[in-house]
Structure 1
Amino acid sequence: MVEENEYAGFLEAAGHQVVRMDGVEWYAYQGFMMPAYLPHVVPKISTEQARRLLKASRHPFVRWTCGFDRTESSPWWFVVREGPYSLEQCSTNTRSKIRRGLKRLTVRRASLDEMREQGHSVCVQAAARYDTAGAASLPRHDDFQRRLEAAASYPDVVEYYAVFQGERMVAFSENHLQSKAAFWENIWYVPDSLRDYSSYALTHVMLDDYLNARGLDYVTDGSRSIYHQTQVQNFFIGTFGFTRQFAKLEVAYTPLFGGLITSAYFLRHLLGSRTRGRFPILDKVGALLTQESIRRGC
């Protein structure tokens, strides 16, 4: 089993701010702090602990999940797939696309050298599909390389699966491992590879390896998306039998930032219908208000 502090170690080596406080390890992500754990092993965290972290980290809010095993419906969830998995569990149409993808493409673990040589190019081509939003999510080349160097120091925590068309890498997934579970943290596809069913082939091979060959408890594509409008999670649920695992979202704000959220909360429905990408600052405000709405509804 991967020691929990190794995941925080990888994140720190990759360039994230990491704060260790009260026996819990946190890292900075998208302007806020969150625990450096997959959801099933997040330690018990009190509001007082979160407030102490706010002072130490100098971020406007911290966010964490609890109750990952809850069965009742909730506005906060993770998209997960438990085993066993088999091709026969998929629809006839999906099985056909998987087979065609595996015939045209090769899916396997990628070495760090292959990732250094081709990985960032895949990100650039993938981001081009999404115009302004894609450019915003594209990692800088130096940051990408630093992440790979961090992965080299933590081989039991991070690994890469890639799709190849001959020698050309056309897709990859960066996967984080912790306590018998895998988080598919980043998945990128070169647009023209989707015609050859790269998404089907990659998902099939990773599910078969993680759930069957290696016997992990579950894989996850992460939590409900608040800021990015994506169909990936719907694809996993509708095509590969992923389900929503409900949980409780907790958020603690600094006094000033919390006051701003409370004051602007009445705008949440107006900003919820925003046009993504036209006004990035409004997108971010809308995402924060959606997050607060989820917190209040959990």
Structure 2
Amino acid sequence: MAQENEYAGFLEAAGHQVVRMDGVEWYAYQGFMMPAYLPHVVPEINTEQARRLLKASRRPFARWTCGFDRAEPSPWWFVIRRGPYSLQQCSANTRSKIRRGLKRLTVRQASLDEMREQGHAVCVQAAARYDPAGVASLPRHDDFERRLEAAAGYPDVVEYYAAFQGERMVAFSENHLQSKAVFWENIWYEPDSLRDYSSYALTHVMLDDYLNTRGFYYVTDGNRSIYHQTQVQNFFIGSFGFTCQFAKLEVTYTPLLGGLISSAYFFRHFLGSRARGRFPLLDKAEALLTQESIRRGC
């Protein structure tokens, strides 16, 4: 199994800024810094360490999770599934869709050659479904290629599962492995494949492999979404028995950003009352204020 520093190595090779400081490895994600660890192995981090990191990285804030074993409810959580897993644990409706998906599609690990040949085309089709302009969510082809080259250097850290209709890839998941847990970092479905239950078949096969065959501690689709509006986590919870693992959110800001957030915090409800998507800058401001509300409520 991969060691923690290998995950940071993959992220750096994939194009992320990586900063190693005070025994902790951080990477830049959507403009801010996060620890390069799955939530159950995040090292202890204090505010002073985070402040030094922000000076070194020149990023506006750092965010991290602690208390991943927290039992009491909190406004910060990860959507996870622990084993064992079986088809019988799903509802009759979900079982039917899984079986139909497995009859129509083949789900298995995909090679990097298959990902190079077909993976980006799946992303193009999937992005068109949610974003007709194809700009906001679609990875650039050269960035996609660089990520695959990075994965080639870290085979114990990154792997791909895909659903195929014949020889044609119609869905895939990029999975990040660390310390006997796995993060489904990116999942893409061609829209037409959803009628063949690609989402059900792909999820079922991955859960069975990771939790039963390979004995991973848990699978996660990630943390509570702050900026993007998505229904995929509701799908995992409602259909496959994922649960919310509560935790504590910590955030440290640069002095300038911290002052702006403190000044704007009590006006956050006015931002939340408008339609999202029309003003991207205001959407980002709302996301920052939502994050601050979660931090204060943890």
Determine if the TM-score, normalized by the shorter chain, exceeds 0.5.
Answer: yes
Spell out the pairing of 1:127-138 with structure 2 (5 A cutoff). Answer: 127-131=127-131, 135-138=135-138
Unaligned runs of 5+ in 1: none
- Percentage identity across aligned positions? 88
Q: Secondary structure at the match of 1:245?
A: strand
Q: Counterpart in 2 of 1:85?
A: 85
Q: Counterpart in 1 of 2:18?
A: 18
- Give 1:245's aligned amino acid: Q
Would you say the 8 A contact 1:32–1:59 is kept in 2? yes
Compute the displacement of 1:268 (Å): 1.4
- Higher alpha-carbon deviation: 276-285 or 252-261: 276-285
Spell out the pairing of 1:37-48 with structure 2 (5 A cutoff). Answer: 37-48=37-48
Compute the displacement of 1:167 (Å): 1.1
Measured in 2, the distance between the counterparts of 1:100 and 1:122 equals 21
- RMSD over aligned CA atoms reads 0.9
Q: Counterpart in 2 of 1:107?
A: 107
Tell me if 1:176 matches 2:176: yes
- Give 1:167's aligned amino acid: E
Compute the displacement of 1:275 (Å): 2.2
Would you say the 8 A contact 1:163–1:171 is kept in 2? yes
Measured in 2, the distance between the counterparts of 1:40 and 1:92 equals 33
Would you say the 8 A contact 1:8–1:25 is kept in 2? yes
Q: Counterpart in 2 of 1:198?
A: 198
Measured in 2, the distance between the counterparts of 1:269 and 1:73 equals 23
Would you say the 8 A contact 1:111–1:160 is kept in 2? yes
Measured in 2, the distance between the counterparts of 1:149 and 1:274 equals 42
- Give 1:189's aligned amino acid: Y
Spell out the pairing of 1:276-287 with structure 2 (5 A cutoff). Answer: 276-287=276-287
Measured in 1, the distance between the counterparts of 2:274 and 2:262 equals 20
Would you say the 8 A contact 1:274–1:283 is kept in 2? no
TM-score (norm 1): 0.98
Would you say the 8 A contact 1:160–1:174 is kept in 2? yes
Q: Counterpart in 1 of 2:7?
A: 7
TM-score (norm 2): 0.98
- Give 1:170's aligned amino acid: V
- Give 1:15's aligned amino acid: G
Q: Secondary structure at the match of 1:135?
A: coil
Q: Counterpart in 2 of 1:232?
A: 232
Unaligned runs of 5+ in 2: none
Compute the displacement of 1:278 (Å): 1.4
Tell me if 1:55 matches 2:55: yes
- Higher alpha-carbon deviation: 79-88 or 276-285: 276-285
Tell me if 1:155 matches 2:150: no
Deviations 1:122-158, CA, capped at 9 Å, x for gaps: 0111000112685212110000000000000000000
